[in-house]
Amino acid sequence: MLVNDGLANVVANLGTAKDKASATTWFVRPHTPEEFERMYRSGWLGRKIIDIPVDDMTRRWRGWSADNQFMEAIEAQEKRFGVRARMTAAKRWGRLYGSSAIIVGANPRLGEPSEPLDIGRMQKGDLAYLHVDISPRLLISEWEADIASPLFGQPRLYTYNPVVRGGLSGLGTSVKIHASRVIPFAGAPLPPMHAMATNDWGDSIFTAIEDTLNTSGTVSAVIASLLHEAKIDAIKTNLEGIGTKEGEARIIQRFQLASMLKSINNTLLLGSDEDYQQRTYNFAGLSDIHIRAMQEISGAADIPVTRLLGQAPAGLQSTGESDLRNYYDAISAKQETDLRPALERLDAILCADAGIEIPDGAFFHFHSLWQETATQKAENAFKRAQAVKLLKETDLIPGEVLSEAVVSQLVDDGTYPSLDEAMKAYKETRGELETVTELPDDEDEDDSTNVIPFRQAAQDAAPRSLYVSRKVTNAAEIIAWARGQGIPNLTATGDLHVTVMYSRDPVDWFGVGTAEERILVPRGGPRMVDRFDGGAIVLCFSDWSLRWRHESLREAGASWDHDEFTPHITVAKVEGDFDLSKVEPYQGKIVLGPETFAEVDDDWQSGVAAE
The one-letter amino acid code at 409 reads: Q
DSSP state for residue 581 in the 8-state scheme? T
pLDDT (tens digit per residue) in 329-367: 999 999 999 999 999 999 999 999 999 999 998 999 998
Predicted confidence at residue 321, as pLDDT, reads 74
The one-letter amino acid code at 222 reads: V
More confident residue, 256 or 3: 256
Q: Is residue 556 part of a domain?
A: yes
Instruction: Give yes or no: residues 477 and 391 share one domain.
Output: no
Instruction: Give yes or no: residues 558 and 491 share one domain.
Output: yes
Instruction: Give yes or no: residues 412 and 501 share one domain.
Output: no
194 is catalytic: no
Instruction: Give yes or no: residues 470 and 421 share one domain.
Output: no
Is 60 exceeded by the pLDDT of residue 442? no
| C-alpha distance from residue 121 to each of 115, 116, 117, 353, 574 (Å) | 13, 11, 9, 10, 59
333 class by beta-carbon count within 10 Å (0-12 exposed, 13-18 middle, 19+ buried): exposed
Q: Are 187 and 202 in contact (CB under 8 A)?
A: yes
Q: Are 589 and 459 in contact (CB under 8 A)?
A: no
Q: Which entry of 178, 497, 550, 566 is annotated as an active-site residue?
A: 497
Q: Is residue 494 part of a domain?
A: yes
Query: Confidence class of residue 581 from pLDDT cuts 50, 70 and 90?
Result: confident
User: For 492-505, b where at least 16 C-beta lie within 10 A, e where not — what string?
Assistant: ebebbbbbbbbbee
Q: 425, 452, 486: which is the final residue of a domain?
A: 425
497 is catalytic: yes
CA distance 30 to 35: 10
List the single range of 214-218, 247-251, 353-357, 559-563 with lowest mean pLDDT: 247-251
User: For 559-586, b where at least 16 C-beta lie within 10 A, e where not — what string?
Assistant: bbeeeebbbbbbbbbbeeebeeeebeeb
CATH code: domain of residue 532: 3.90.1140.10
244 is catalytic: no
SS3 of 222-267: HHHHHHHHCEEEEEECCCCCCCCHHHHHHHHHHHHHHHHHHHHHCC
Q: Is residue 528 part of a domain?
A: yes
Quick check: helix, strand or coil at residue 577? coil
* Sequence-separated (6 or more) residues with CB below 8 Å from residue 593: 437, 470, 471, 472, 473, 517, 518
Q: Are 174 and 112 in contact (CB under 8 A)?
A: no
The helix (run of H) or strand (run of E) holding residue 105 is strand 99-106
CA distance 14 to 21: 8
Q: Which entry of 198, 215, 499, 596 is annotated as an active-site residue?
A: 499
Predicted confidence at residue 602, as pLDDT, reads 76
Predicted confidence at residue 99, as pLDDT, reads 93
pLDDT (tens digit per residue) in 276-334: 777 777 777 888 888 888 889 999 999 998 889 887 665 444 555 778 889 999 999 99
Q: Which entry of 58, 88, 491, 570 is annotated as an active-site residue?
A: 570
Query: Confidence class of residue 415 from pLDDT cuts 50, 70 and 90?
Result: confident
Average pLDDT over residues 95-103: 95
Is 90 exceeded by the pLDDT of residue 265? no
DSSP state for residue 180 in the 8-state scheme? G
In the sheet that holds 155-160, the strands lie side by side as 138-143, 155-160, 175-178
DSSP state for residue 317 in the 8-state scheme? T
Q: Are 283 and 226 in contact (CB under 8 A)?
A: yes
The percentage of residues in the chain with a pLDDT greater than 90, rounded to a whole number, is 38
Quick check: helix, strand or coil at residue 145? coil
| Strands 568-573, 536-541: pairing kind | antiparallel
Handedness of CA 251, 257, 263, 269 (dihedral sign): negative
* Sequence-separated (6 or more) residues with CB below 8 Å from residue 324: 304, 306, 307, 370
Instruction: Give yes or no: residues 396 and 468 share one domain.
Output: no
Q: Are 73 and 356 in contact (CB under 8 A)?
A: yes
Q: Which entry of 215, 290, 568, 596 is annotated as an active-site residue?
A: 568
Instruction: Give yes or no: residues 475 and 596 share one domain.
Output: yes
Q: 397, 425, 453: which is the final residue of a domain?
A: 425
The percentage of residues in the chain with a pLDDT greater than 70, rounded to a whole number, is 82
Instruction: Give yes or no: residues 380 and 495 share one domain.
Output: no
Predicted confidence at residue 515, as pLDDT, reads 84
Is 60 exceeded by the pLDDT of residue 124? yes
Q: 395, 425, 455: which is the final residue of a domain?
A: 425
Q: Are 541 and 527 in contact (CB under 8 A)?
A: yes
Q: Is residue 278 part of a domain?
A: no
Q: Is residue 555 part of a domain?
A: yes
CA distance 510 to 507: 9
DSSP state for residue 120 in the 8-state scheme? G
Domain of 495 in residue numbering reads as 464-606
CA distance 541 to 519: 13
| C-alpha distance from residue 134 to each of 140, 158, 337, 346 (Å) | 12, 12, 20, 18
Instruction: Give yes or no: residues 472 and 586 share one domain.
Output: yes
Tell me the CA end-to-end span of the chain in Å, nearest whole number. 109
Q: Is residue 190 part of a domain?
A: no
Categorise residue 529: left if φ over 0, alpha if ψ from -120 to 50, beta otherwise.
beta
Instruction: Give yes or no: residues 566 and 490 share one domain.
Output: yes
Instruction: Give yes or no: residues 483 and 402 share one domain.
Output: no
Quick check: helix, strand or coil at residue 276? strand
Is 50 exceeded by the pLDDT of residue 450? no
Q: Domains in the chain: how many in total?
A: 2
Q: What angle do CA 129, 133, 136 make, to 5 degrees?
A: 145
Instruction: Give yes or no: residues 401 and 512 share one domain.
Output: no
The dihedral over CA atoms of 346, 348, 354, 359, expressed in degrees to the nearest 10, equals: 130
Peptide bond connecting 359 to the previous residue in cis, omega within 30 degrees of 0: no
566 is catalytic: no
Quick check: helix, strand or coil at residue 133? strand
The dihedral over CA atoms of 212, 216, 217, 218, expressed in degrees to the nearest 10, equals: 100
Q: Are 529 and 513 in contact (CB under 8 A)?
A: no
Instruction: Give yes or no: residues 497 and 393 share one domain.
Output: no
Q: Is residue 495 part of a domain?
A: yes
Is 80 exceeded by the pLDDT of residue 100? yes
Is 60 exceeded by the pLDDT of residue 438? no
Query: Confidence class of residue 176 from pLDDT cuts 50, 70 and 90?
Result: very high
Q: Are 420 and 408 in contact (CB under 8 A)?
A: yes
* Sequence-separated (6 or more) residues with CB below 8 Å from residue 354: 73, 74, 76, 77, 124
Closest CA to 502 of 429, 405, 598, 359: 598
Q: Is residue 587 part of a domain?
A: yes
CA distance 182 to 103: 5
Closest CA to 279 of 235, 234, 237: 234
The one-letter amino acid code at 263 reads: S
Is 90 exceeded by the pLDDT of residue 525? no
pLDDT (tens digit per residue) in 583-602: 999 999 999 999 999 998 87
Q: What mean pLDDT is reported for the chain?
A: 82
